[in-house]
Chain A
């Protein structure tokens, strides 16, 4: 694709020659590598509360980031103005990371390959506003209709369309148009024994068209699930405390993998030798039942990308194969310094941020066990169906994730719901206790946001039903 065919050419007059000039300026002080990241994002959000649409917001954010790499050093500058003098100034600022005469004389840009994972005829951002507002109104109705004990509903819908152009001094030029949409429903219910309100949450989306919410995962689908969770919690008992057998349900509980192994396998931490997984490639870090992959090439998924934010096509990367650690997630800088192959995991939050190795969609492959049979095999333990967020300390390897819907398992059956509790484990050890893996791999609904060093990016997770023989559960009931 030519620059003149992109929004950056059409609306801002950007040309290939401009890009070459900016890259030349960026390398003017002797940098080894430079790239330009042009971004144009249009977004819309609609919020419903107390059955009325209280706010609706639209916005546009435009800018370009210039990065220069010299050895292990990176210089970065950006501009929210596309005028050539502002971009040249940013290029000169970033260039200062290097000291010396320019090393690279001639630059040429060639369109580079990319996937085509979310080519929507009409992205949600271009649909009628009323159609999008109707989604939250439907969610409100459905949640209230689910059960009279529901007394409070908040629903929000948000979408964005991000245009990205990446030009690099190694000659690649990529353009991508990245849609994203998400619907969230939060419900409060009351009427349990202690009179206390309880909350339920559900949401989802992806790089999808509005039809996704009209035909596949409707507002009613998410609303009923949020209401169901709040109602379940009304009768919840205190969660247990201590080490026990834990069974994770399929889907979003895959956040375990994101925290326990995913972050620890990002190449920057390993290059610096500060991850609990550093130097462990080839070692057994999980039970042989576990194969974990990161895959940025799944069509329409929230964590997917045609190219990463360095212009590299995404791919499927095996992180753990039958329990053996296979590899890390790379960005350009780490891959060059480690002499490793690129994996298309260089991502950034916006033009104001430097790229770094990040996950895309991270999940465990399905095993052989029947999920019912997994639960039946547990005399006493905890079944976790839904989680909130998680966090990891990649150096010690300790990670947490917080169960928002879980049940006691007694005598091989789910008996009663328990209140929220945090689960804690250690990355290189936790997956060694996996003793059964279900045949029911499911990916999450499309709500994941991953934070690292102050940058947020959308991600996906997934897991089949999994039994961990030992995990510490942080409830209050000893």
Chain B
């Protein structure tokens, strides 16, 4: 029996045990990882695992369970456990499965699986990591150490079935190559990293390129100093700008909205950002990391314009949060393998503008170009934002010297209104992406 049939069977088992509705997820995956440090193979890991999860509804009560034991007894025990748990939860008038007409899956090949990854031999994968690290070590004698380079891959599949007759599954693959070089000069020691990730090996950046970029990033941090406390324009390099998009995701997620736990709650239709910002969630783009034929409730993925030229156009919703808010699902249900679905995203990104990052920097007399952010000082309820930062100071339109051990602070609501520039350099290296962004003014705190 294949896993899709098994998921359907588990749903039937739940109905036989008294559930009035059920949804079952089964996932399987094989992971591989080879890491090299200072030119020597360090770690090699290869294995596969599977898991099944069920959520049952008994009327408006729900219960969930999961197991790594897919034997008949293991699945029986899982179903029994979920049914038992439904007796301790409370009736929730909004609990339920999607409406039958909401179910479905995108047709056609979404380019999520490539056989070229599984076809790579172990020596080739080790050599990729070795070549990437070597390129970093060769860049400059100041690249004196390394935390290593690694090639990682994941090949897996996910299956979902529910008691309304939906059943679907899809395979996916991904691989990545990363390097973490350490640069030393006198007392100063700094590390940075670069990585490339893709669903097919053919689309991965060349190891030499990954190594070189990582080394350049570590080298340019050498001799970093603190900056004086002041208010200045702040440019978020694309790699860190994506974290702002992640904060926006939390703020527009239906889970935060119905609890009024977001500074964007109740702002639908209002201007919430400068008109430079258009934020899109698109789970349909072929070959990307946030793409899937259907979400984790069996609703087809789609494109949602979340913020259009600064105006909040849509929240991101699953069926539950949509019912709570009197809206329709946007196909953004997400879950591990068990539990009530929460809200996730497809490919979430800020639409690129036309200028290069260099052109944006050229217009700044005194400012901060941030290349790394640290810590968790972001409060989605209030929008308060305060994080550790490192990067390069901008003087007269040019990157002048490295800066670290400072914080940048503001409030997300104000930062969005103050978004003065969006660059053209959008690149999808994960399911959240952003071009370089410039905020008109933030507080840099240093000495």
Contacts from A to B (Cβ < 8 Å): 46, 49-50, 52-63, 72-80, 90, 93, 96-97, 129-130, 133, 151-152, 154, 188, 196-199, 239, 241-243, 272-274, 276, 352, 354, 388-393, 395-396, 398-402, 419-426, 472-476, 478
Contact = CB atoms under 8 A, between A and B. Distances in A.
A152 B409 contact: no
A55 B339 contact: yes
Contacts, number: 261
Contacts of A475: 386, 409, 443, 445
Interface stretch (B80-88, B158-166, B268-276, B295-303): B80-88
A197 B189 contact: no
A54 B62 contact: yes
Interface of B: 37, 40-47, 49-51, 53, 62-69, 74, 77-78, 81-82, 84-92, 95, 122, 145-147, 182, 189-191, 221, 224, 226, 229-231, 259-261, 263, 338-340, 372, 374-377, 379, 381-382, 384, 386-388, 390, 404-411, 443, 445-447
Given A46-B88, A354-B43, A396 B375 contact: no
Nearest to B93: A52
A243 B447 contact: yes
Contacts of A241: 229, 407, 409, 443, 445
A478 B78 CA distance: 56
Given A58-B81, A152-B260, 13 more contacts: A55-B63, A55-B340, A61-B67, A80-B51, A129-B87, A133-B89, A197-B381, A241-B443, A390-B376, A422-B409, A424-B388, A424-B406, A475-B409
A474 B407 contact: yes
A36 B382 CA distance: 48
Contact of A401 (B86, B89, B375): B375
Contact of A93 (B46, B85, B411, B443): B46
A11 to B, nearest CB: 11
Nearest to B263: A196
Contacts of A80: 49-51, 68-69
The interface centre, meaning the residue of B43, B62, B91 with most chain A CB atoms within 10 A of its CB, is: B43
Contacts of B261: 152, 188, 197, 199
B198 to A, nearest CB: 19
Given A54-B340, A56-B63, A129-B84, A422 B405 contact: no
Contacts of B231: 478
A246 B82 CA distance: 49
A199 B388 CA distance: 22
Q: Is the interface of A mostly helix, strand, loop or mixed?
A: strand
Contact of A395 (B68, B85, B191): B191
Contacts of A197: 260-261, 381-382
30 contacts: A55-B62, A58-B64, A58-B65, A60-B66, A60-B74, A60-B78, A72-B40, A72-B42, A74-B43, A80-B50, A90-B47, A152-B260, A188-B259, A274-B145, A274-B191, A389-B376, A392-B374, A393-B374, A393-B390, A395-B191, A396-B221, A398-B390, A400-B407, A402-B375, A420-B377, A424-B374, A472-B405, A474-B388, A475-B386, A478-B229
In the complex, the 7 A-B pairs of residues with the closest C-beta atoms, listed nearest first: A474-B407, A400-B388, A400-B375, A422-B377, A52-B90, A59-B66, A402-B377
B405 A398 contact: yes
B387 A75 contact: no
B47 A424 contact: no
A137 B339 CA distance: 19
A77 B45 contact: yes
A421 B62 CA distance: 39
Contacts of A62: 68-69
B43 A424 contact: no
Nearest to B381: A199
Nearest to A273: B145
B376 A75 contact: no
A63 B68 CA distance: 8
A243 B85 CA distance: 52
Contacts of B74: 60
B182 A54 contact: no
Given A129-B84, A422-B377, A60 B68 contact: yes
Contacts of A274: 145-147, 182, 189, 191
Contacts of B390: 393, 396, 398
A96 B376 CA distance: 40
Given A76-B43, A197-B260, A389-B376, A424 B189 contact: no
Contacts of A56: 62-64, 85-86, 88-89
Contacts of B95: 54
Given A58-B85, A272-B147, A402-B375, A78 B47 contact: yes
A241 B45 CA distance: 46
A388 B189 contact: no
Contact of A55 (B89, B410, B447): B89
B405 A426 contact: yes
A239 B379 CA distance: 14
Given A77-B46, A274-B147, A396 B190 contact: yes
A151 B258 CA distance: 12
A401 B226 CA distance: 17
A152 B261 CA distance: 9
A402 B445 contact: no
Contacts of A198: 381-382
A336 to B, nearest CB: 15
B438 to A, nearest CB: 18
Contact of A474 (B84, B381, B387): B387
A77 to B, nearest CB: 5
A241 B91 CA distance: 48
Contacts of B226: 472
Contacts of B84: 129
A199 B37 CA distance: 44
A249 B443 CA distance: 26
Nearest to A137: B90
Given A198-B381, A241-B445, A276-B189, A474 B409 contact: yes
B47 A272 contact: no
A389 B406 CA distance: 17
B66 A395 contact: no
Given A53-B89, A152-B261, A420-B379, A352 B64 contact: no
Given A49-B259, A90-B47, A59 B65 contact: yes
Contacts of A54: 62, 89-90, 92, 95, 340
B123 to A, nearest CB: 11
A454 to B, nearest CB: 10
B88 A53 contact: yes
Contact of B47 (A79, A398, A476): A79
Contacts of B43: 73-76, 354
A199 B87 CA distance: 31
Contacts of A133: 88-89
Contacts of A50: 259
Contacts of A49: 259
Contacts of B77: 60
Contacts of B372: 393
A76 B44 contact: yes
A56 B82 CA distance: 8
Contacts of B78: 59-60
B374 A398 contact: yes
A395 B182 contact: yes
A402 B386 contact: yes
The interface centre, meaning the residue of A75, A188, A419, A474 with most chain B CB atoms within 10 A of its CB, is: A474
B338 A59 contact: yes
A73 B42 contact: yes
Contacts of A130: 88
Nearest to B446: A472
Contacts of B64: 55-58
B89 to A, nearest CB: 5
Nearest to A55: B340
Nearest to A76: B45
Contacts of B147: 272, 274
A170 to B, nearest CB: 20
Nearest to B383: A196
